[in-house]
Amino acid sequence: MGFRAIVGAIVPEASNLDEDGWNRLEQLVEAALAARPRRLQRQVWLLVRTIMWLPVLRHGRTFRSLDPVRRARFLSSLQEHPIQLVRKGFFGLRTLALLGYYGRPEAARAIGYAADPRGWEALG
């Protein structure tokens, strides 16, 4: 559930997904992570848990209980964090969220994405 809250803050349109859409999104993310070392997989889920609880120190609330503006502000602070490891971790998590949302065929159609194995030749 924590990952869904993060995805919803990164891609607000994700809040419109039904359970099937969320399942497809999570399957894409899990497939992407399955190809990575176990250590990296654990780090990603540790980052998700950390993001869920870190706002308690500043706001007295978990990430899930923050309003959308505070969620966005908090994630922005991670994106701009002075510690490079924090920025890199958030960038990776953000990439997974975008992959999960926009990797679904429905999202690709909705934004007019029509990839073709022929690449640029397909336009000619």
pLDDT given for residue 77 in this prediction: 95
Instruction: Render pLDDT for 42-53 as a digit per residue (tens, 0 to 9).
Output: 999 999 999 999
Cα–Cα distance between 124 and 67 in angstroms, integer?
Answer: 47
pLDDT reading at 39 higher than 80: yes
Contact yes or no for 91/78 (Cβ under 8 A): no
pLDDT given for residue 121 in this prediction: 81
DSSP letter for 62, please. -
Q: pLDDT grade, residue 56 (50/70/90)?
A: very high
Cα–Cα distance between 119 and 124 in angstroms, integer?
Answer: 10
Query: Which pair of structure tokens corresponds to residue 41?
Result: 């997989």
Instruction: Render pLDDT for 66-88 as a digit per residue (tens, 0 to 9).
Output: 999 999 999 999 999 999 999 99
Q: What is the pTM of this model?
A: 0.86
Query: Which pair of structure tokens corresponds to residue 121?
Result: 């030749």
Cα–Cα distance between 25 and 4 in angstroms, integer?
Answer: 10
Contacts for 66 with CB less than 8 Å, ≥ 6 apart: 55, 59, 74
pLDDT reading at 113 higher than 80: no
pLDDT reading at 1 higher than 90: no
pLDDT given for residue 111 in this prediction: 80
